[in-house]
């Protein structure tokens, strides 16, 4: 999933800015459409994974995401591209939370699960880096539309592979009325998320993190175009190089996170990463030197990426087995809500003022996320 998504986004990001010439608010609204898909389907798909089958939910995710991503490279009308992003968001929710819940059921060993969640994130980052040469090769051999389609459909093929090879031995499907069980798990997941102080604080910090992250994720390429890319540079190669270095930096941060978890609480470490990301976003906003903006974008991405497994570990430690995917889905939904608000508010701000101003506000929001999540450590004590 990581390699295919990385290869697709490298080419698609350039297509949206250089070929289709979308405005900042349109780029932000594409992210908003995606997050609306996540927001309205995250909890239902999480409950389905808890009630029916983790495996089925994960397989369906790949079968939905692949075609949705491919169509994003085919359509030229903004509203059609927005629909593909919403569809991709729905597909994403089918595996979000269900994957960790499946792993936890299969292994029945929380210590191994936490170790593998960190290792999996490092593998994901490495796969993102693999997507870079794939994107460059596809861009060389095919049109940008063709490159996006081929990279995207690798996810569909992988879904077919999972149908054959993926086991599910640890999940026990509960007998009884399906609708009643759906409601029971939904209520249990909501109660755990909103009544436990540490999970409630984590959810709030996740909203703030999503709010600040969305505009940076959607306008990083546009920010480089705003600063000025020399005519001698190939935009796809530059974005590919950016993605590659983001991946390498993220691997370094994840290794540091894994070591520091021995001595620091996950919430405190997550707070430090958010504060560091805020500084990097501020640098990307205030500098007019392409090289400095380039480096700042790499640093902020790596630091924010390091918060992902920490968020999963904190949430996974505090939930109950029969609502695990649902609780994780609530966290993903909180992130989606933040990204929707960030896409709308900061996208409008970027259009009416500048991308620089929107980035500076995003930096402030990252600081707030760091302060809030730091309280989760005290709440869990």
Structural domain contains residue 43: yes
Structural domain contains residue 361: yes
Nearest by Cα to 190 from 199, 181, 198: 199
Enumerate residues 6+ apart whose C-beta is below 8 A from 63: 91, 156, 159, 160
Residue 43 domain boundaries:
2-165+177-380
Q: What is the pLDDT of residue 206?
A: 87
Q: What is the pLDDT of residue 307?
A: 87
Nearest by Cα to 313 from 111, 156, 44, 130: 111
- What is the distance between the alpha carbons of residues 150 and 20, in angstroms, rounded to a whole number? 20
Q: What is the pLDDT of residue 369?
A: 92
Structural domain contains residue 172: no
> Running DSSP on this structure, what letter comes out for residue 242?
H
Mean pLDDT of 231-251: 86
Give percent of the chain with pLDDT exceeding 70.
86
- What is the distance between the alpha carbons of residues 7 and 148, in angstroms, rounded to a whole number? 7
pLDDT at 153 over 90: yes
Structural domain contains residue 170: no
Mean pLDDT of 173-198: 61
Number of structural domains (the chain) is 1
Q: CA-based angle 149:150:154, to the nearest 5? A: 110
Q: What is the pLDDT of residue 356?
A: 92
pLDDT tens digits, residue range 74-130?
A: 999 999 999 999 999 899 888 877 888 888 888 888 788 878 877 887 788 788 888
Mean pLDDT of 159-179: 78
Mean confidence (pLDDT) of the chain: 84
Residue written as tokens 């960030």?
342
Q: What is the pLDDT of residue 93?
A: 83
Structural domain contains residue 171: no
Structural domain contains residue 317: yes
CATH number of domain containing 133 = 1.20.1250.20
Which of 64-68, 100-104, 168-172, 313-317 comes out lowest in average pLDDT? 313-317
Enumerate residues 6+ apart whose C-beta is below 8 A from 378: none
Nearest by Cα to 102 from 156, 40, 178, 48: 48
Backbone φ and ψ for 369, nearest 5 degrees, come out as -60, -40
Beta strand spans in the chain (E) = none
Structural domain contains residue 61: yes
Structural domain contains residue 41: yes
pLDDT tens digits, residue range 10-56?
A: 899 889 988 898 888 888 888 888 878 877 776 667 667 777 788 88
Q: What is the pTM of this model?
A: 0.72
65 vs 202, more confident: 65
């Amino acid at each position: 999933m990581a390699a295919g998504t990385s290869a697709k986004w490298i080419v698609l990001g350039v297509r949206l800015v250089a070929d289709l010439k979308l405005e900042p608010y349109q780029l932000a609204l594409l992210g908003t459409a995606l997050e609306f898909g996540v927001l309205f389907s995250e909890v239902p798909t999480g409950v389905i994974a808890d009630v029916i089958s983790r495996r089925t939910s994960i397989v369906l995710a790949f079968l939905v995401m692949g075609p949705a991503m491919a169509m994003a490279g085919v359509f030229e009308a903004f509203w059609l591209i927005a629909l593909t992003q919403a569809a991709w968001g729905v597909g994403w929710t089918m595996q979000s939370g269900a994957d960790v819940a499946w792993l936890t059921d299969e292994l029945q060993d929380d210590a191994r699960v936490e170790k593998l969640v960190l290792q999996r994130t490092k593998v994901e980052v490495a796969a993102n880096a693999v997507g870079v040469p794939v994107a460059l090769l596809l861009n060389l051999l095919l049109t940008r539309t063709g490159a996006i389609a081929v990279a995207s459909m690798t996810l569909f093929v992988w879904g077919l592979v999972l149908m054959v090879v993926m086991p599910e031995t640890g999940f026990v499907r509960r007998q009884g009325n399906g609708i009643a069980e759906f409601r029971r798990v939904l209520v249990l997941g909501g109660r755990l998320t909103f009544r436990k102080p540490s999970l409630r604080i984590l959810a709030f910090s996740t909203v703030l993190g999503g709010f600040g992250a969305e505009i940076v994720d959607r306008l990083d390429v546009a920010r480089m175009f705003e600063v000025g890319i020399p005519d001698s540079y190939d935009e796809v190669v530059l974005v590919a190089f950016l993605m590659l270095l983001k991946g390498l930096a993220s691997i370094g941060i994840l290794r540091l996170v894994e070591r520091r978890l021995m001595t620091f609480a996950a919430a405190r470490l997550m707070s430090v990463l958010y504060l560091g990301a805020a500084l990097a976003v501020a640098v990307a906003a205030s500098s007019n030197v392409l090289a400095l903006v380039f480096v700042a974008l790499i640093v902020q991405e790596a630091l924010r990426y390091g918060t992902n497994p920490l968020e999963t570990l904190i949430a996974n430690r505090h939930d109950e087995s029969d609502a695990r995917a649902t609780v994780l889905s609530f966290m993903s939904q909180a992130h989606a809500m933040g990204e929707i608000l960030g896409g709308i508010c900061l996208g409008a701000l970027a259009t009416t003022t500048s991308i620089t101003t929107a980035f500076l506000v995003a930096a402030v929001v990252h600081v707030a996320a760091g302060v809030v999540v730091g309280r989760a450590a005290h709440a869990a004590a």
